[in-house]
Structure 1
Amino acid sequence: MTSAGNIATETVHVSLGDRSYDILIGSGLIARAGQEIASRLPGIRAAVVTDENLAKLHLPVLLSALEAAGITATPVVVAAGEKSKGFATLESVTNDILKARLERGDAVIAFGGGVIGDLAGFVAGIVRRGMNFIQIPTSLLAQVDSSVGGKTGINTAYGKNLVGVFNQPQLVLADTGILDTLSKREFAAGYAEVAKYGLIDQPEFFAWLENNWQDVFAGGAARQHAIATSCRAKAAVVARDERETGDRALLNLGHTFGHALETATNYDSSRLVHGEAVAIGMVLAHQFSTRLGLISEDIAVRVEKHLKAVGLPVSMKEIAGLPSADVLMSYIAQDKKVSRGSLTFILTRGLGQSFIAKDVNAADVQAFLEDKLA
């Protein structure tokens, strides 16, 4: 994948009163990170939380950019993968930041994908009761989803993201050029979240993706357009419902099924990564909507066809060794969207017509899962 041409950086503003911030989207932003951060938070020191893979490939460029802007930075490197989103790594990162004697007015910079952003954002929210937080997302998934909106947290044995805080960043720098180094699988996993915005409430964007997805994968203007459109969609929802008491839950389309699958695979990225789980989950959400008589079967087929075309898994049968429907239901019952024991799903009444369905019958879900696992 290669980026083409010199495309101007775009800015998406997240409007949250005194917690508002900008998302900058464009190529070469990592090399400019120091000046962008220093202009907003002058005189700070920082901890850069990243993983072992990024530390080898890209950390020197970021550290040089920070140093050139007069920002003293302490690297904090953790193991790559979803298993770093746990209590043990949370404790070690917290201790590293305290050991560096960073103060409340200093910053924690998340330099990585969704795992790093969620972990570092949680750390920034709790160390010294809250430090400045900056997101430099390096995966497509993180750039269009997890770096925007302030959700942070870690996983537990009981499920994904069940411990965390809402903690908005002061700045997000989405360098589209760094996506050129992603594998096809990683890029496709992030693309699932891009497609999600079309399926929530922008059917014209989903149709655009059906016609232009290859250009998005190739880079350049189409990629930047897809990322900016996704960020604007999420920013608008977050501005309306920061703490997910209302329609922000729509952003979880595919996630109730998807999170259960991730828990069932013990967050093993060799078997399943988050975006792949979301892709399967979105197909299941549309198929379940079909079963409930909410949509015609051709809509679910259209969604499945597109996600399959870009290289994403679309069926639970593509994951080896899944447990029974009973076990999957136990994970769904731990989902954060469960309210007083009632199941809540994001379902749809048409392409791009998703809605929050409360009091979904658990027996219907279990029978549906049993059929899909058979």
Structure 2
Amino acid sequence: MSATTVRVDLAGRPYDIVIGRGLLAELGLRIAALRPGANTVIVTDENVAARHLDTAKASLAGAGITSSEIIIAPGEKSKSIDVFASVCDQILATRIGRNDLVIALGGGVVGDLAGFAAAAVRRGLDYVQVPTTLLAQVDSSVGGKTGINSQYGKNLIGAFHQPILVLADTAVLDTLPEREFQAGYAEVAKYGLIDDAKFFNWLEANWRHVFDGGPEREEAVAICCRAKAAIVARDEKETGDRALLNLGHTFGHALEAGAGFSSRLLHGEAVAIGMVQAFDYSVEQGLANGQDAERVRRHLKSVGLRTRPSEIEGDMPDVDELMALIAQDKKVQRGKLTFILTRGIGESFIAKDVDPAKVHAFLSQQG
């Protein structure tokens, strides 16, 4: 199957997202074409290293590209100040230069962490994203958002730092645990819910083929990447409508933090619950109809995702604590809450100065 290329058309700094099966074996040739003779440092985690590191290193070696690797523990807890500092030191220990490259080989945690380290080391190294999860392929690897978590919330420390290439090998998703694929699918559905009702309709009919690995998988990834590339090109640093990409994330990030950034609640699972909450809250405020909210809940549930906070295992913060976490959201401006709300499927919008009392009352009713 031939690869699909999506261009992220940033002025003076354009780059390609290349999507297709078997692309990991082409990593070396594609890097050599961009940066011949470069030294590289691969940042990956233990799980991805066991499955894909040898293929990546062999591809690089075959193209005359030297490489070393940094292997971190899997999971959201690696997006910490301590791990970030360690990765920066390990990159520096390789004596990598300004004309060399960092390669982020992994899911969203690896991509966010490695991208932020690349932004910081020597005041900025170029890097390549090789996303190995569905979530990373359709969302976190594209657009240059990098960062780590704080005790105050998700992704509150970081930088905008664009990659020079994103290589999305959809065949590596064949080895992804089902729960990880389901979590990534929440971000796929998000693109339909933001402003593409036709795509959401298509997903309702074709989601099983996306999961099974047919050509619909590449089609879905490409549609998501085109949508994100267009938004990033016109609003790189989220001063305008790029904030729409955070549908479900204000509620979701608070839940994720409340679960301790642990395997109890994966990022995509939190986003799924958060998107349903955004629809339910919009219905409660008279902005959207209940039929659309129920349709969203039904679809996400059909693919195996949780859709209610009560479905999260273990103890969770009370409403006051959740509101404190929401108040730390990156979209808060001068203490005023900003949410992505909706008038229906494909009709999301940025709502500024949302009344905290109304959100508190809404969360108090959640089951």
Please give the TM-score of this superposition, normalised by the length of structure 1: 0.97
**SS of structure 1 residue aligned to 2:23:** coil
1:196: Cα distance to partner? 0.2
Q: Which residue of structure 2 aligns with residue 309 of structure 1?
A: 302
Partner of 2:280: 287
Alpha-carbon deviations, 1:219-266, whole Å to 9, x = none? 121000000000000000000100000000000000000000010011
Q: Which residue, out of 77, 80, 84, partners 2:74?
A: 80
1:216 and 2:210 matched: yes
Unaligned runs of 5+ in 1: 1-6
The 2-side partners of 1:274 and 1:351 are apart by: 22
SS in structure 2 at match of 1:102: coil
Which residue of 273, 277, 287 corresponds with 2:270? Answer: 277
Per the alignment, residue 146 of structure 1 pairs with 140
Residue 69 of structure 1 pairs with residue 57 of structure 2: no
Q: Partner residue of 2:291?
A: 298
Does structure 1 residue 183 correspond to structure 2 residue 177? yes
**Which residue is equivalent to 2:124?**
130
Show CA shifts across 1:145-199 (max 9, x none): 0000000000010000000000000000000000000111110100000000000
Distance in 2 (alpha carbons) for counterparts of 1:184 and 1:94: 32
User: Unaligned stretches of 5+ in structure 2?
Assistant: none
Aligned partners of 1:44, 1:132: CA distance in 2, in Å?
Answer: 11
Q: Distance in 2 between matches of 1:31 and 1:118?
A: 23
Partner of 2:21: 27
Higher mean Cα deviation, 247-256 or 52-61? 52-61
How far apart are 1:338 and its partner, in Å?
Answer: 0.2
**Structure 1 residue 90 displacement after superposition:** 0.5
Name the CA distance, whole Å, in 1 between partners of 2:49 and 2:241: 37
Structure 1 counterpart of 2:239: 245
| Superposed CA offset, 1:113-172 (max 9, x none) | 000000000000010001111000000000000000000000010000000000000000
Write the distance in 2 (CA, Å) between the matches of 1:309 and 1:136. Answer: 29
Q: What letter is aligned with 1:77?
A: I
Q: Which stretch shows the higher mean deviation, 335-344 or 316-325?
A: 316-325
AA matched with 2:304? G
1:1-374 equivalences under 5 Å are 7-269=1-263, 271-320=264-313, 321-373=315-367
Letter in 1 for 2:166: V
SS of 2:18's equivalent? strand
Q: CA RMSD in A?
A: 0.6
* Separation in 2, partners of 1:119, 1:183: 22
Residue 3 of structure 1 corresponds to none
- CA displacement, residues 323-362 of structure 1 (integer Å, 9 cap, x when unaligned): 1100000000000000000000000011110000000000
User: Which amino acid letter does the alignment assign opposite residue 59 of structure 1?
Assistant: L
Deviation per CA, 1:30-86: give whole Å up to 9, x if none. 111000111011111010000011111110010000011111101000000000000
Rounded to whole Å, the distance in 2 between the matches of 1:364 and 1:302 is: 24
Q: 1:4 aligns to what?
A: none
SS in 1 for 2:341: strand
Shift of 1:203: 0.2
Aligned-partner SS, 1:174: strand
Counterpart CA distance in 2 for 1:41 and 1:357 is 43
Report SS of the residue matched to 2:353.
strand
Query: Take 1:56 and 1:200, find their aligned partners in 2: how far apart are those partners?
Result: 36
Q: Aligned partners of 2:9, 2:171: CA distance in 1, in Å?
A: 26
Q: How many Å separate the matches in 2 of 1:44 and 1:253?
A: 38
Shift >2 Å, 4+ stretches: none
